[in-house]
Amino acid sequence: MSEQKAMKPSLGRPAGQNAEKVRADLLQAARNHFLTRDFKSVSLRQIATDAGVNPAMVSYYFGDKRGLYMSMVEQVTNSLEESLQGMGDGKQISISEFSESYTQILADNPWWPNFLIREVLFSEGEVRDAVLQKFSSKIVPGLMAAIHGEIGNGNFRKDLDPAMALISLLGMTIFPFLAKPVVEQVLNINLNQETARQLAQHNTQLFLNGVSNSDQQEEQL
């Protein structure tokens, strides 16, 4: 009887396990489930099983399912934000570098566009606010500053609406990955890394051709 009690698994913190590893394993398991499935359809038991720990560890490290989910979202958005570091001078984001870097991110993380649709466009609450805050605090201001700067120095048209131009740039960059089934099955284009590089170059050239000051271009010819 005493041996059976001794063998009974503990619901507390597992002895001998590295705390950071347990936390990291839970976050990775959460990514595998939450990024491809709806929040309500994912159970903590599934995540804990994949992480190889007791479900009680979720409560220990994250409080509850929502806490784990928000920690996962923060980790994902931080990693994507790090991938965009170094573009421009810190205040303005290079349009060509943004197009290339973000297109590569979308190619390397095919789940990201669908996650954005599900959690940002079709839901409300903490997740949407967290993602929008990340995007609006650095990326959008940096791109807007770049467009305003190019208008100011005469490289872009004076009649250009910066907000409309930014919408066009984001649409050109993101839409092919939102429409990936159509692009791959109908147009027979595989959105891999090489194609992503070609697409980024194409989008940048197309965008710049549309916004550039034609008078200045003629003066340079």
Q: At what angle do helices 140-152 and 162-178 cross, to 10 degrees?
A: 130
CA distances from 7 to 1, 2, 30 (A): 10, 9, 29
Residue 190 or 111, more confident: 190
- Token pair of 219 as six digits: 């003066």
Beta strands in the chain (DSSP E): none
Q: How confident is the model at residue 182 (pLDDT cuts 50, 70, 90)?
A: very high
- Token pair of 98 as six digits: 């943004």
CATH topology of domain 1-76: Arc Repressor Mutant, subunit A (1.10.10)
Cα 68 to Cα 35: distance, rounded to the nearest angstrom = 13
CATH topology of domain 84-220: Tetracycline Repressor; domain 2 (1.10.357)
Q: What is the mean pLDDT of the chain?
A: 84
Chain region(s) in the chain for CATH 1.10.10.60: 1-76
* Cβ–Cβ under 8 Å, residues 125 and 66: no
pLDDT, residue 114, reads 83
Cα 35 to Cα 177: distance, rounded to the nearest angstrom = 16
The closest alpha carbon to 155, from 96, 202, 106, 195, belongs to 96
- Token pair of 32 as six digits: 């595998």
Q: Is the pLDDT reported for residue 217 higher than 80? A: no
Chain region(s) in the chain for CATH 1.10.357.10: 84-220
The closest alpha carbon to 93, from 50, 136, 139, belongs to 139
pLDDT in tens, 149-168: 999 999 999 999 999 999 99
pLDDT, residue 151, reads 96
pTM of this prediction? Answer: 0.74
